[in-house]
Chains A and B, each alone.
Chain A
Amino acid sequence: MKLLDLFRIQNTANSKIRLAAIVAAVVVLMTLPSWGGGYAVFIVTLMGIYITLGMMWNLLAGYSGLVSLGLQMYIGVGAFALAALSNYYGVPLVIGLLLGGVVSMVIAVGLSYLLLRMRGMYFAIATWMFAEAMVLLLVNFEYFGRGQGLFVLAARSLSETEKYYFSIVMLLVVLLVVVLLLRSRLGLGLFAIRDNDVASQTSGVPLFKSKLIVMMVTGFITGVCGGVYYIAFVWIQPYSAFSITTWTVAAVFIVVIGGIGTITGPIVGGVIYVFLSQYLSTLTWMGSLNMVILGVIAVAVIIVAPKGIVGTLQHRFGFEIISARRWMKGYVTDRLPDHI
């Protein structure tokens, strides 16, 4: 009965329509390669990866008050672990992905004991420093191909459709995990910590433990996400795998545009990011101006609509497609509290 509560969809007049829409979306995503074109498959593969990345940054910054600038570390670690396991020991890709996630998670646990002592900007800069230090160490090893990096050799023979399923299955699983995590007792505690950490701690929310679990989850999933990205693109170049401008910039943009602290925000933001960055990259005359445009949009949104697209819509129209909150049986409302 408790478990059922976790899955319950917001009990409003149109909850059946909402459920149908979610099921339809899953069916469309799972069958896309059989009827969609090659470009659509590629675009949605990218979306799966970037939305996952956005959801992880959102879980840290939007739900746990941990503004990280170092997610790229898990991307790099997950990807290099996958490549090493698969190239040198013939580990199958799926197992390699999960083990890459585990390696990232172990590192996340170790670093948490140092990082979680810091707050705000100290935390932000320290996460970034660790990522930078990691790549400077890694490029010294012949094992990881030094500055050249590694190829995920086994991924060369995969079809675009197989790469698509890696990405989309990851996305759907991660979405489910994030919703369940936020609706669990832990998630409730996280909301409390984000809103007022001292008050929540005095009410018995285990501060360190909750944040540690969030760090572990993001470490694992982001590590897998890195692996999936480099299965799709094959060549892991260390400086770009650990690059703040490739990964954290994308994650921040996606979450800020979509809506920080909402479940659907990173989905909307990720879709916009992939379309926008793909479109901008076709305008070759723009060169690096495409990054300028992304930056200007993000800064404008933070100032004008700090809740992002989804947050602003939720606030104005009072609906949520997927809610992070638990809904009790028989509780009917169309209004959301002002502060979600």
Chain B
Amino acid sequence: MDAALIQSIIQGLLMGGLYAAVGLGMSMIFGIVRITNLAHGDFLILACYISLIFMGVINNPIVTLVFVVPIMFFIGFSMQRSLLNRVIGRGDEPPLLITFGLSIIVQNLLLYFFTADAQRLHSNLLLESISLGERVRIPVLWLISCIVGVAIILVLGLYMKNTYMGRAIRATSDDTEAAQLVGVNIKSAYGIAMGIAMMTAAVSGVFIGMVFTFYPSTGPSYLIIAFAVVVIGGIGSIYGTLAAGLIFGLAQVVGGYIVGPQYQQLIGYVILLIMLVLRPQGLFQR
């Protein structure tokens, strides 16, 4: 097998770990609160810009997470409590349209304050790589992103299984009324679930911002990645999300290697559409 293909496979898998983290928050909200957060990608980019602000003080994007993650939790929690909880139970359309509105609001606020210039969260790690054989290299930053992505998924899996709030959230997702009967405050559970989803968006967002350039209108392309991960992985399945991220990342990069890198985005759309048509319940549905 030639080195360029091996390189593509490695990069696809590494990117897939990060993709899984991008889709994780969306999958959670889809499964638990049962709404599609069309602003997921934009909040991810918002996290990049919040990190960019702190970069003025701390010159290391990974350290800015100490601030970015709690801020994003607060944003998610208050968004759920003040806006989305008000329309729960009114059908699918109102929450979908509210998050669509939020997506436009966030994008254009970012455009207003930060202009349309491409940005990147500069990190010394970007140029480092580990050599494997002659022409195959593992970029260190991609490796770290992938490890962090997988770590978030494992931590969230443990949290959902072993803590009171995690169990309450899962109970709410399984049977809202029964959860209420045993004393779960479901509005609060939804708020915390959205907060956690935004924390995962914050972490994956900052790594995305270190690996790729971003500008205010890049949000929707990450929404599409997140949605693809949700659709391939099946709704609400945390480990399915991980597998889906790896599959999607691999398919996109290797597909781009075969057809030509300029079609990478189109390949992503086509994979997603094929999944939607043939198996919308996902590959790993419980």
Contact = CB atoms under 8 A, between A and B. Distances in A.
A in complex with B? yes
A292 B101 CA distance: 9
A169 interface: no
B273 A121 contact: no
A136 B101 contact: no
Interface in B32-87: 36, 83, 86-87
Interface string B102-124: 10110111011000000000000
A120 B105 CA distance: 23
Nearest to A306: B94
A295 B112 contact: no
A120 B92 contact: yes
Contact of B269 (A132, A260, A302): A132
A249 B224 CA distance: 17
Interface stretch (A87-95, A142-150, A224-232, A283-291): A283-291
Interface string A123-138: 0111001101100110
Contacts of A190: none
- Range for the number of chain A residues in contact with chain B: 35 or more
Contacts of A117: 277, 280
B265 to A, nearest CB: 7
B272 A129 contact: yes
B100 A125 contact: no
Given A298-B101, A302-B98, A292 B266 contact: no
A299 interface: yes
Contacts of B101: 252, 295-296, 298-299, 302
B93 A67 contact: yes
Question: Counting chain A CB atoms within 10 Å of each CB, which of B87, B269, B270 scores highest?
Answer: B269
A337 B112 CA distance: 45
B233 to A, nearest CB: 14
Which of A245, A256, A298, A299 has the most CB atoms of chain B within a 10 A radius of its CB?
A: A299
A118 to B, nearest CB: 6
Nearest to A126: B276
Interface in A50-73: 61, 67, 69
A296 B277 CA distance: 34
A62 to B, nearest CB: 9
Contacts of B105: 291-292, 295-296, 299
Interface in A247-289: 249, 252, 256, 260, 287-289
B92 A121 contact: yes
Interface magnitude class on chain B = 35 or more
A244 B90 CA distance: 25
B256 interface: no
B276 to A, nearest CB: 5
Contact of A302 (B87, B112, B220, B265): B87
B98 A299 contact: yes
Interface in A284-340: 287-289, 291-292, 294-296, 298-299, 302-303, 306
A295 B272 contact: no
B108 A122 contact: no
A296 B272 CA distance: 31
Given A136-B266, A303-B86, A292 B112 contact: yes
Given A120-B92, A121-B36, A288 B87 contact: no
A173 interface: no
B94 to A, nearest CB: 5
A114 interface: yes
B95 to A, nearest CB: 9
15 contacts: A67-B96, A114-B276, A114-B277, A120-B96, A125-B276, A132-B224, A133-B266, A133-B269, A133-B270, A133-B273, A136-B265, A292-B109, A295-B101, A296-B105, A299-B105
Nearest 6 pairs between A and B by C-beta?
A: A121-B36, A295-B105, A291-B108, A288-B108, A288-B111, A299-B101
